Amino acid sequence: MQNTSSNPADPIGWHGTTILCVRRDGKVAMAGDGQVSLGQTIVKGNARKVRRIGAGGSVLAGFAGATADAFTLLERLEAKLERFPNQLERACVELAKDWRTDRYLRRLEAMMAVADKHHSYTLTGNGDVLEPEDGLIAIGSGGNFALSAARALIDIPEMGAEDIARKAMRIAAQICVYTNGNVVVETI
């Protein structure tokens, strides 16, 4: 994924991923599309950008950005979760501090969405650890499309978190050229 903005952690200018996290009725669903783009070329259609991490897979993590950078951040977050078990917020804050102050990490071009059964956060290289007030997080180039769709769908009482995530991702894939319909969804 490439970033055309002057700040690598600024989501404006990201091209290549859609990650959506939906929290509803005690359930959390995180969805990610499978498309990997290199410039204007699709190089892979079935990448896995959403993973379970932490003890027993109790945390969902999705990433947008340069793949190697995202994996570096996932490894760092897993180490923080080992150090602070069952404390997602603390692990995220500690990672954000490192990300902001470490010269190596500062250069990483990625964003993350993470969630456990109690909290959801967006993590950025600016040191942000943002918890949404409505239980919805979206990052990546198709993030705003998926977020808009999820906000419209959240009012439908019979739709669960996973149903909303899948439908919103289908909508985003129909709009964003950097998002495909090959969606991976993890739930807790």
Give the domain CATH number at 95.
Answer: 3.60.20.10
Q: With CA atoms as reference, report the closest residue to 54 among 21, 81, 76.
A: 81
Contact 125, 99 (CB under 8 A): yes
Q: With CA atoms as reference, report the closest residue to 138 among 128, 150, 126.
A: 150
What is the gyration radius of the CA atoms in the chain, in angstroms? 15
What amino acid positions are annotated as catalytic residues? 17
pLDDT score of 11 more than 50: no
pLDDT score of 18 more than 80: yes
Q: Which residue has the higher pLDDT, 107 or 17?
A: 17
pLDDT score of 70 more than 90: no
Q: How does residue 9 score in pLDDT terms, banded at 50, 70 and 90?
A: very low
Q: How far is residue 60's CA from residue 178's CA, in Å, rounded to a whole number?
A: 22
* pTM for the whole structure: 0.90
Residue-number span of the structural domain to which 79 is assigned:
2-187
Q: How does residue 118 score in pLDDT terms, banded at 50, 70 and 90?
A: very high
pLDDT score of 13 more than 70: no
Residue type, 41: T
pLDDT score of 8 more than 70: no
Q: Where are the alpha helices (DSSP H) in the chain?
A: 67-83, 88-101, 103-106, 143-153, 161-175
Rounded average pLDDT over 165-183: 97
Contact 121, 115 (CB under 8 A): yes
10 Å Cβ neighbour count for 174? 12
- The total of structural domains in the chain comes to 1
Distance of CA 188 to the CA centre of its chain: 15
Which two tokens mark 24?
């509803």
Q: Which residue has the higher pLDDT, 133 or 103?
A: 133
